[in-house]
Amino acid sequence: MGCPDCNGTRSDIAGKASGVVLEIGFGSGYNLPFYKNVKKLYALEPSQEIYDLGKDRVASAALPVEYFKSSAEDIPLPDHSVDDVVSTWVLCSIPDAKKALKEIARILKPSGRFIFVEHGLTQNRFMAMIQRLITPVTSKFTGNCHLDRKIDDLIAESGFRFESLEKFPESGRPLMFSYRGVAVVRLPYSDDRPHGDHGDERAGALEEPELGRAA
Ligand SMILES: C[S@@+](CC[C@H](N)C(=O)[O-])C[C@H]1O[C@@H](n2cnc3c(N)ncnc32)[C@H](O)[C@@H]1O
């Protein structure tokens, strides 16, 4: 996934993020040039080797980047400390994707968003059958990449609701089916304002991020 902007996908996803942001599965930092309103970026990537491939990109980035060598299943950040979480083609390879999504819900502020593009199970029944058949084998030599995860269900079942969700086949790649959108944490308490009503809280976060502070 080292394409510069992947047909505008990276600029769309990273361009939506603002404030203090966590990117899971940061890889070699291909999204870095597309962050426009990000005050600070936490770059979470379990593979130091992959992260190091992007060292020059990090060094020349226009924003401060702090690296966590960690899995998204165990995010080393306090509860409700991050404005947005970004993920580009990562949920396919995390061993326990639901555990990671619950961690994302934990560290997001109530006004926070999970902004993602992922690939997963196709809506074409025949191709979905092929995806399910070959994934146990192909995942062994593609860094645990699963072709057959139903990404929207995983996100919804981990406590999120969608602000937007697009699902579409990738042209010319019948085994690749895209899920792209923005999800917010379903609030367990009465303050279930629509996401857009949290504008002041987000503006405050941009002025002076205070980690560990419950929003
Ligand atoms: C297909 S690459 C995408 C990299 C990057 N997001 C991009 O768009 O270029 C998948 C990335 O997920 C990372 N990854 C694998 N398991 C992970 C985990 N448990 N937690 C977080 N990231 C993980 C891999 O190391 C790899 O960098």
Q: What is the CATH number of the domain that holds 202?
A: 3.40.50.150
10 pLDDT higher than 90: yes
Is the pLDDT reported for residue 72 higher than 80?
Answer: yes
Q: Is 71 in the pocket of ligand 1 (CB under 6 A)?
A: yes
Query: What pLDDT does 89 receive?
Result: 98
Classify residue 112: in a domain, yes or no.
Answer: yes
Q: Does residue 77 fall inside a structural domain?
A: yes
Structural domain boundaries, residue 60: 9-207
Domain-located, residue 212: no
How high is the pLDDT of residue 75?
98
Q: How far is the CA of 195 from the centre of ligand 1 (A)?
A: 28
Q: Say if residues 72 and 42 touch (Cβ distance below 8 Å).
A: no
Give the pLDDT score at 102.
98
Q: Which residues contact 35 (CB under 8 A, 6 or more apart)?
A: 14, 15, 17, 21, 41, 62, 63
More confident residue, 192 or 164: 164
Using 50, 70 and 90 to split pLDDT, how confident is the model at 211? Answer: very low
Indicate whether residue 118 lines ligand 1 (CB < 6 A): no
Distance (angstroms) between ligand 1 centre and the Cα of 213 equals: 28
Within a domain: 103: yes
Distance CA 142, CA 139 (A): 5
* pLDDT higher than 80, residue 62: yes
Tally the domains of the chain: 1
Instruction: Flag whether 177 is in a domain.
Output: yes
Contacts of 112 (CB under 8 A, 6+ apart): 80, 82, 83, 84, 85, 184, 185, 215
Q: Separation of 191 CA from ligand 1 center, angstroms?
A: 34
Question: Is 9 near ligand 1, meaning CB less than 6 Å away?
Answer: no
